[in-house]
Amino acid sequence: MKKMKQVVVLLVVFAMLLVSITACGKKEESKDSSEKKDAEYNIAVLIPGSVAYFTATRAGADKAAEELGVKLSYSDANWDAAKQLSQIEDAISKNVDMIAVCAADAEGILPGIQAANDAEIPILTFTNAVGSDESGTVDGVVSYVGQSETETGMLCAEIAKELLPDGGNVVCIEGKPGTYPQIYRSKGFEEGIEGSNLKVVYNQTANWDKEEAMSITEDLIQKGTDIDLFFCQDDGMATGVGQVLEEAGVRDKIKVIGLGGSIQGLQALKDGYMDANTYMSAEEEGHTAIETCVRYLKGEDVEKLTLLKQVEVNQENVDDFKGEW
């Protein structure tokens, strides 16, 4: 009888342990599921500098983050490559899940790419690619999301040839030196006008700044430079150029090409301050960058290169486009 009681007690204890273990297991499983469900990927988004374009890019990124349930932390390098490298190191020290960087300098960013690789933190580039491959791809980077800057430059060259079929003298107003768009928009434009009667007589950076572009234009007009067309590597600079030409009374003699399809750029085209423009959605670019990051973090295959295209905008189709920045 005593032995039977002992057996019963042991069975009860065993049953209680089994229930406890099962309950704990279910609780732990529930906890894990809850954590997985509620978990947010932390993505560091590094912007090269404060220009209007990145306001729209950020809007698209924020929209993607809200849709996909991820957390974004932004840093602005103020066009300082060394500062951006420091921001990458900071993101690494915070053990973020991924870094999305729009490079302040195409070559200067490379040590940061290596640092992220060494820390086993995936890194994606967008808008401004890195390295010296004009495709935008580079070893150590998960994916590049943006346009082919060479193709964009070539598109602007085709527009220039349409505007000046008999040729003429061209002034190129460029963006921040060393940035991927500045380098390859110039390359694409120069390749695109080869074999034509268009000739680049002057190249000058305005650092994506409208006021700088206006100052350069004023100086060229005062010097009496023979100019038939201005090719500006973004809308803000092109709008400034067009305004100066209008004020100087020579706008009808000199063509202006902008790039990017901003709010002010499209309006400037409508108002006659420029002759042609291009358009690509900055919001789509930002959205796609974050969407690609999340897909990669979830273990999905992503393309090394996700290209968005600029399209020509002119007086005939300008009303079909809506600026974002």
Q: What is the CATH number of the domain that holds 179?
A: 3.40.50.2300
Q: How far apart are CA 220 and CA 72, in angstroms?
A: 44
Do 107 and 118 lie in one domain? The reply is: yes
Highest mean pLDDT: which of 49-58, 128-137, 233-242? 233-242
How many domains is the chain built from?
A: 2
Average pLDDT over residues 186-202: 97
Domain that includes residue 164, residue range: 149-279
Q: Alpha carbon of 133 to those of 56, 129, 139, 250, 306: distances in Å?
A: 26, 9, 10, 40, 15
CB 178 within 8 A of CB 208: no
Residue 7: how many other CB atoms lie within 10 Å? 10
28-49 b/e (C-beta count within 10 Å ≥ 16 → b): eeeeeeeeeeeeebebbbbbbb
Decide if pLDDT at 134 tops 90: no
pLDDT band at 45 (very low <50, low <70, confident <90, very high): very high
CB 124 within 8 A of CB 101: yes
Do 167 and 195 lie in one domain? The reply is: yes
Do 142 and 185 lie in one domain? The reply is: no
Distance of CA 37 to the CA centre of its chain: 30
128-159 b/e (C-beta count within 10 Å ≥ 16 → b): bbbbeebebbbeebbbbbbbbbbbbbbbbbeb
**101: which strand partners?**
46, 125
- 324 in a structural domain: no
- Note the pLDDT of residue 40: 87
- Note the pLDDT of residue 50: 86
- Note the pLDDT of residue 4: 40
- Note the pLDDT of residue 55: 93
Strands 71-76 and 311-313: unpaired
- Note the pLDDT of residue 16: 35
Average pLDDT over residues 210-224: 97
Do 121 and 70 lie in one domain? The reply is: yes
- 25 in a structural domain: no
- Note the pLDDT of residue 82: 97
Name the pTM for this structure: 0.82
Do 76 and 198 lie in one domain? The reply is: no
Distance of CA 193 to the CA centre of its chain: 27
- 19 in a structural domain: no
- 54 in a structural domain: yes
The two three-digit tokens of residue 268, written as one number:
């400037």
The two three-digit tokens of residue 284, written as one number:
């789509």
Q: What percent of the chain has a predicted confidence (pLDDT) above 70?
A: 88
- Note the pLDDT of residue 51: 84
Decide if pLDDT at 34 tops 80: no
Residues 80-111 have pLDDT tens digits of 999 999 999 999 999 999 999 999 999 999 99
Decide if pLDDT at 18 tops 50: no
Decide if pLDDT at 33 tops 80: no
**58: Cα within 13 Å, side-chain hemisphere:** 18
Q: Where do the H-state alpha helices sit in 76-136?
A: 81-93, 110-118
- 112 in a structural domain: yes
How high does pLDDT run on average in the chain?
89
Q: How far apart are CA 252 and CA 96, in angstroms?
A: 53
Q: How far apart are CA 164 and CA 18, in angstroms?
A: 86
Do 136 and 184 lie in one domain? The reply is: no
Strands 311-313 and 277-279: antiparallel
Q: How far apart are CA 298 and CA 314, in angstroms?
A: 42
| Residue with the two structure tokens 């220009």 | 51
Average pLDDT over residues 17-25: 37
- 214 in a structural domain: yes
Decide if pLDDT at 19 tops 70: no
- Note the pLDDT of residue 39: 54
Average pLDDT over residues 269-285: 97
pLDDT band at 258 (very low <50, low <70, confident <90, very high): very high
Do 228 and 171 lie in one domain? The reply is: yes
pLDDT band at 1 (very low <50, low <70, confident <90, very high): very low
Do 177 and 104 lie in one domain? The reply is: no
Do 140 and 190 lie in one domain? The reply is: no
Decide if pLDDT at 30 tops 70: no
- 36 in a structural domain: no
- Note the pLDDT of residue 322: 93
- 12 in a structural domain: no
Do 185 and 234 lie in one domain? The reply is: yes
Decide if pLDDT at 35 tops 80: no
Do 73 and 177 lie in one domain? The reply is: no
pLDDT band at 59 (very low <50, low <70, confident <90, very high): very high
Do 131 and 274 lie in one domain? The reply is: no
